[in-house]
Amino acid sequence: MAILINLDIMLAKRKVSSKELAESVGITPQNLSVLKTGKAKAIRFSTLEAICVFLECQPGDLLEFRDDGEGKKIFKDSPYRGWIMVGPISRQNRFYPVLPTYSVSSKGET
């Protein structure tokens, strides 16, 4: 996993129990446990904001990106590599090839 959750470290620094945090933020202890163990696939901004307000910290104190090389495979093997998406995000996304750009010489050479 490339995104690490350092919630347990911040709880220890603030000397707060998981139960206290869960009650004040309004999430279940089970969901907090999923978040602490790094098994969560997503977190709502409102939940992240509530955690940061309670712990008096920044999102960067809780979340850490660590490049493990796994993410590179997604783009390297993607059938859309070298393509860009145009238009709103929906089921009908349009992909167009990225065309190479050429610079024109300022000396008038062709």
Domain span including residue 23: 3-65
Report DSSP letters for 86-104, one per residue: ES-SSTT-EEEEPPPP-PP
**Any idea what the CATH number is for the domain that residue 44 is in?**
1.10.260.40
pLDDT values of the chain reduced to their tens digit, one per residue, 110 residues: 578 899 999 999 999 999 999 999 999 999 999 999 988 889 999 999 999 999 999 999 999 988 766 555 555 555 555 555 555 554 555 555 555 555 555 555 55
In a domain, 27, yes or no: yes
Give the total number of structural domains in the chain. 1
Q: What's the whole-model pTM score?
A: 0.61
In a domain, 9, yes or no: yes
Beta carbons of 92 and 82 less than 8 angstroms apart: no
In a domain, 96, yes or no: no
At 98, list the tokens: 């990225």
The one-letter code for the residue type at 83 is: W
